Structure formats: C-alpha cells, structure tokens
C-alpha cells in the first residue's frame, strides 16, 4: 500500500509562537505533496502545492510568509505556521502524490489538529 504519516497528530500552542507539521510518505517517493486546511464543518481547502526541490505554489489568499513549506526530500514535506493566531486553529491535512501512471496517486495523511490559544 501507500502510507502517509503526519506528525504531530495534534498540537496546542500559544498565540505568537510557530508550529511545524511534518508530512512523510513512508513507502513511496513523492515528488509532489499538497497541504490542505479544514475548518469545522467545512470541506478541505487546498493551501499549497509542494514540489521537491523547488518553491511551493500557494493558493490565492494563503500567505506564503505565514505558512512556510519545505519539501527537501522525496519523502518529507513540512508546513510551519509562523506567529500563530487563534484563527489559524484548524485541521491540517497533507497528501502525497505517487509518480504518474498509478490510478489513485494521491494518498492522504491522518491530519494534524492545531489549536492556538
């Protein structure tokens, strides 16, 4: 199968601090990873597309200086929420894409619940 992990699964931080979330593809190499955010009772919203070795592409309205994404290897992408505020509290989910040619090439992590107090 294809397994994607996220760490931590949940985190509580104080307003103004930074939090790093890791997304790992455990048994395959992912040249592309996606970061989504989900607020309560809402659907997933794409935040950014992360490509290994290059800068991430952010969706409109997502501040790139606030949500730092690093995709330094084919199995790891990180999302750092800088100077977190209570409105950043959300469920953050990553997905990793297998190389082209496989039928369902995106696999999702279990998500990270961030609470900013």
Positions touching another protein (CB under 8 A) are 4, 6, 31-32, 34, 36, 43-46, 49, 51, 91, 93, 95, 97, 100, 103-104, 106-111, 113
Sequence-separated contacts (24+) of 98-105 with Cβ below 8 Å:
98/2, 98/28, 98/30, 99/29, 99/31
Distance separating alpha carbons of residues 116 and 48, to the nearest angstrom: 21
Q: Shortest distance, CB of residue 10 to another protein, whole angstroms?
A: 10
User: Any idea which residue has 């290897």 for tokens?
Assistant: 73
52 versus 82: smaller Cβ distance to another protein: 52
Q: Shortest distance, CB of residue 81 to another protein, whole angstroms?
A: 18
Q: Shortest distance, CB of residue 12 to another protein, whole angstroms?
A: 16
- Widest Cα–Cα separation across the chain: 44
């Amino acid at each position: 199968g294809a397994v994607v992990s996220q760490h931590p699964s949940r985190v509580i931080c104080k307003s103004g601090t930074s939090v790093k979330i890791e997304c790992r593809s455990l048994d395959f190499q992912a040249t592309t990873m996606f970061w989504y955010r989900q607020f309560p009772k809402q659907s997933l919203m794409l935040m950014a597309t992360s490509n290994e070795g290059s800068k991430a592409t952010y969706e409109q309205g997502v501040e790139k200086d606030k949500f730092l994404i690093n995709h330094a290897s084919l199995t790891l992408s990180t999302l750092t929420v800088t100077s977190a505020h209570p409105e950043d509290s959300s469920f953050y989910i990553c997905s990793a894409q297998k190389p082209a040619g496989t039928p369902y090439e995106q696999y999702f992590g279990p998500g990270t619940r961030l609470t900013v107090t």
